[in-house]
Amino acid sequence: MVTKKFVIKRLAVCVSTIFIVIVLNFMLFRVMPANPVDILLSPDVGQLSASIRMEVREEMIKSLGLDKPLWMQFVRYLGDVFKGNFGESFRTHRKVLSMISERVANTIVLMLSANILSILMAIGLGVVAAWKRGTKTDITSLIFALIFTSMPMFWVGGIIILVFAVRLDLFPMFGTTTVGLEHSNMFAYLSDYLRHLFLPMITMTLVSFGGLLLIVRSALLDVFSEDYILTARAIGLKDRTIIFKNALNNAMLPLITIIAINLGFMIGGSLLTETVFSWPGLGLTIYEAVMYRDYPVLQGTFLIITIIVVIANFLAEIVYGYADPRVRSGA
């Protein structure tokens, strides 16, 4: 059992991190060079006369609470965040939260599928590499892993589009479903969605499995040098039994932490991949917000993404705590 103290301690760290992230997010968008009111005003009220402009401006400053002292603005912001009120998009004038919530599922599907695929690849190749340590197989897989992790993810996506969507015309190149297509039933919709998912998923997997492979391999090498594995080999257990029954179980521990740490990287990756494939998730939302300088959307999406990552890290630590008895007593 994980002790209560361990969970509470981790939870406190998690909550304080989220609080600091909220403060940071508030401060960042206060120090930006342009005043938010001016940005809001420029496109819509450009034609109005100067005096009306001033009036609208003052009105706006009041309604946004920008005339209050900074700490009162922060208290207000904090309240809004807890109510899920992230303001309105400058561009579409829709609520930021509803824009995020209709797109978050696409990001989760993309990240989860790519993550699972790259973990499977990393474990499969990592086991072979570690078991055949120092051979050609090992070195080839290591070099391939390093080459793929050195590639810019958006560029890999571009090449995959060029080859598989433009030249070979095997897969669609953007979106989640075919534009204008009426799906006759759930199954038709699903298969269309999966066909669209395939290329972005492969892109993310190719670039991210390498890093995981290196970790699986080195974790396994650590385990292989333990006495009980040597014993298992000595008493004549089959390689396969040793790897899957003994070694892999123990090598999973570092993998859990790495996947959690990797989450930030995967978020960055999905951001780039979504932009390349116009996959309507949180990453594309951030890209569009940057393009149109839509600060409320940028601020809200950044906060949500960061909080998700912090919570995922917290959960990983708890899982790690359950799996590894040393952590429980040590913390």
Partner 1 sequence: MSMERLNLYTKRLKGFINQYKESKLGIIGLIILSIFIFISVFANYLSDYSIKATEGDLSAQFEPPSYKHWLGTDDVGRDLFTQIMYGGRISLLIGFLAAAISGGFGTLVGLFAGYFGGWREDILMRITDIVLVIPGLPLMIVLSALLGSSFWNIIFVISIIGWTGTARVVRAQVLSLKERPFIESTRVIGAGDLRIIGLHLLPNVFPLIVAQMVLRIGSAILAEASLSFLGLGDPMSVSWGMILHWAFTTGALFSNYWWFLLPPGICITLVVLGFTFVGYALDQIVNPRIRRR
Binding site for partner 1 (CB under 8 A): 13, 17, 20-21, 28-29, 31-33, 133, 146-147, 149-156, 158-159, 161-162, 166-167, 173, 218, 221, 261, 263-265, 267-268, 271-272, 275-276, 286-287, 290-291, 293, 298-299, 302, 305-306, 309-310, 313
Taking the complex as a whole, the smallest distance from the CB of residue 144 to partner 1 amounts, in Å, to 11
Q: How far is the CB of 64 from partner 1 (least distance, A)?
A: 18
Nearer to partner 1 by Cβ, of 121 and 219: the residue is 219
Q: Which one, 159 or 194, has the nearer CB to partner 1?
A: 159
CB of 304 to partner 1, least distance (A): 10
Least distance (Å) between residue 260 CB and partner 1? 9
Q: Which residue has the tokens 């981790």?
A: 10
Structure-block tokens of residue 221: 């090498």
Shortest Å distance, C-beta 251 to partner 1: 15
Torsion of the alpha carbons at 302, 211, 111 and 311, rounded to the nearest 10: -50
Q: Which is nearer to partner 1, 189 or 198 (CB)?
A: 198
The first and second tokens of residue 304, run together, are 């949500």
- Please give the structure tokens belonging to residue 161: 């589009």
* Min dist. Cβ of residue 298 to partner 1 (A): 6
Q: How far apart are CA 195 and CA 201, in angstroms?
A: 10
**Residues 6 or more apart from 200 whose CB is under 8 A from it?**
110, 114, 157, 273, 274, 276, 277, 279
Please tell me what DSSP assigns to residue 331: -
Residues 7, 317: Cα–Cα separation, whole Å: 9
User: Among residues 13 and 253, whose Cβ is nearest to partner 1?
Assistant: 13
Residue 164 and residue 199 in contact, taking contact as beta carbons nearer than 8 Å: yes
Would you say 39 or 56 has its CB closer to partner 1?
Answer: 39
Nearer Cβ to partner 1, position 13 or 252? 13
Residue pair 220/206 in contact (Cβ under 8 Å)? The answer is: no
